[in-house]
Structure 1
């Protein structure tokens, strides 16, 4: 079982949790962990949506590599912890969460970006249309519903509060809560939370339903950037370089296919994949898909996509200053697009 699903969700609690995950990862490494030769990759998916690796597999871009779905997750930190402890072979999370886990000693390396922020794909912080919340100070004592703590949404919230003059002491007056993405809009409309973090198809559905207004978005704050990466354990990388190369380059090719293919065709492909895999999922929200939001061609990782969050984490006191260097957290060597190939 994952660390996050068994521990309480508290503000700033993630750093302690990644230490536990790193310890578990070390134990797993000592007993063999994921250090095995394979072309079958265990992974966690996301209900009602298609990930870039799933698209790559359907398009036939992964070569000899096959995917072995072991379940779904709504938490990036939990997903990379599962990879770090050998429960899965790869996992994806916000780059700040990847840097935290690396800082705690987990033997992982990021190999390709898989989601990001652009004018079409972004996360917004939304309130009800009649809400008096209009600025950062109005969030004191308010509940902010997001998919997980210690990841993208909480980092964006802290940046927003900091840029609007909210002190570290007052930041603690704002209460982020974990709400499953599929329930976030409903929780907002039921007044169970005061602000809902919504992205992608769930955001567009909520806006189409009406009655909500934006407070701010991550695109407003930071513009376009790749925000999350897939990671593998270092022992797995050493044992399976060809498998990781096929996976990474195939996923990169799928990213470019989604970027260059007319949107109706992309949505139609996604819908067919969901129906064919038979997991009893609702595919109706797929019509709102617009983009993966990935900045780099083929998911190539840019150094600033880690240094931005490493600096923020250091400023927050969540990792020791100078302990984590971006070059130690990620590599593009498995991605054919890094050298101009495809």
Structure 2
């Protein structure tokens, strides 16, 4: 499956320069080149741009929802090829897309892991699996390949002393997040990667136990960023600045307001957008996991995954430089100018 995905990547990227059709470059009243941005959402969840729009930070820019995604790599590929105007993914996936010559730039961090929000890997209560070596020949359910969950698994196995040949015998199985717990309980997979409400509800039901967490390996960290294409930034500098500033302010709003306030806003947004979805999951929201104020990006958040991908042989030494992958130029919290 991994080889097939990589084979599709050059085809997707070939359309990049011909895409980004919404970036007109013609200034609108107020100095913005664009006042509508296309994006993908998530069922039963609220993204920071959606929160920024609700709080009035994004005006006069409006969002245009074109559908939902459960895959970060797919989301940033959609942005790279002009199907959307922005997308977000695990920083390691951004490194790989940049290595494939996609002209993208990370502009703000949007999710991460901390003591409240983390990815846990769980086994059935009676499972004989106790550590990394027990995973040889076993199946681990993840939401997508080439992203956060896969990277954490492989790092866990490597730190557990497994050789590359042994790691290759651990099978990663793509399972929709809402079906992962059930797949574990039915024995279709041996380990389930769970986070957020899906993790909390599974633990409430009992019968499963943790094997390890991503924060056990890396500590608290911002794990993913939102990207724009370099062409979009060049053609729409004022829109870029307004969008990133609004996004960053929305991140900071969740970092400085109570859990109850955040949940109330999220429920209101989900109810108003009318997508026939269950808003119950947001009641379990605890934190975004974003490490820095307003989603300011730290070079180490990319360097960690550059080093890892080099060790894995997925990119060559020196092929990608952290400094080339991101910019904090448009984030007001990077300079302390946010008000």
With normalisation by structure 2, the TM-score equals 0.94
The correspondence for 2:301, drawn from 300, 305, 329, is: 305
User: Equivalent of 1:109, from 84, 105, 122?
Assistant: 105
When structure 1 is superposed on structure 2, of 119-128 and 181-190 the one drifting more is: 181-190
Distance 1:236 1:96, change over 3 A: same
Q: What pairs with 1:134-173 in structure 2 (closer than 5 Å)?
A: 134-173=130-169
Could you say if the C-alpha distance between residues 31 and 15 of structure 1 is closer, same or farther in structure 2, counting changes exceeding 3 Å?
closer
Identify the range of structure 1 (258-267 vs 296-305) with the bigger mean alpha-carbon deviation. 258-267
Structure-1 separation of matches of 2:51 and 2:123:
33
Determine if contact 2:105/2:230 at 8 Å carries over to the other structure: yes
Question: In the alignment, is the contact (CA less than 8 A) between 1:225 and 1:305 conserved in 2?
Answer: yes
The 1:220–1:13 alpha-carbon spacing in structure 2 relative to 1, beyond 3 Å, is farther
In the alignment, which residue of structure 2 is the partner of 1:273? 269
Q: Please, which moves more after superposition, 218-227 or 261-270? A: 261-270
* Residue in structure 2 matching 1:21, options 4, 7, 12: 12
Match of 1:89 among 81, 85, 89: 85
Q: 1:242 aligns to what?
A: 238
The structure 1 residue matched to 2:52, chosen from 31, 53, 56, is 56
Cα distance in 2, alignment partners of residues 80 and 184 from structure 1: 24
The answer to whether the aligner puts 1:295 opposite 2:269 as a matched pair is: no
Contact kept, 8 Å, 2:132 with 2:156, in 1: the verdict is yes
Kindly indicate whether the alpha-carbon contact (under 8 Å) linking 2:19 and 2:82 is maintained by their aligned counterparts in 1.
no
Cα distance, 1:204 vs structure 2: 1.3
In 1: Cα distance, 2:134 partner to 2:21 partner: 47
Note the C-alpha offset of 1:20.
Answer: 3.5
Residue 192 of structure 1, CA deviation: 1.5
From 104, 122, 125, give the equivalent of 2:121.
125
Which residue in 1 is equivalent to 2:24?
A: 36
Distance 1:31 1:308, change over 3 A: closer
Task: Report the Cα distance in structure 2 between the residues aligned to 1:19 and 1:194, rounded to whole angstroms.
Answer: 34
Residue 207 of structure 1 pairs with residue 203 of structure 2: yes
1 CA distance for matches of 2:164 and 2:191?
20
Q: Is the 8 A contact 2:20 2:82 kept in 1?
A: no
Supply the distance in 2 between the matched residues of 1:138 and 1:64 (Cα, whole angstroms).
54
Please say if residues 146 and 177 of structure 1, whose CA atoms lie closer than 8 Å, have aligned partners that are also in contact: yes
Q: Given the alignment, which residue of 321, 327, 330 partners 2:323?
A: 327
Q: Answer whether contact 1:36 1:236 (CA < 8 A) is retained.
A: no
Residues 157 and 20 of structure 1: is their aligned pair in 2 closer, same or farther, counting only changes over 3 Å?
A: farther
Q: Distance in 2 between matches of 1:215 and 1:15?
A: 30
Deviation string, structure 1 residues 88-115 (Cα, Å, up to 9, x no partner): 0000000010011011011111100000
Gaps in structure 1 of 5+ consecutive residues:
1-9
Residue 177 of structure 1, CA deviation: 1.0
How many residue pairs were aligned?
330
Shift of 1:31: 6.1
Q: Distance in 2 between matches of 1:249 and 1:142?
A: 44
Do the aligned residues in 1 keep the contact of 2:109 with 2:297 (CA within 8 Å)? Answer: yes
**Can you list the C-alpha shifts for 1:143-196, whole angstroms capped at 9, x where unaligned?**
111110000000000100000001000111101111111111121122211111
User: How does the TM-score come out when normalised to structure 1?
Assistant: 0.93
Deviation at 1:243, TM superposition (A): 1.0
Secondary structure (helix, strand or coil) at the match of 2:101 reads: coil
RMSD: 1.4
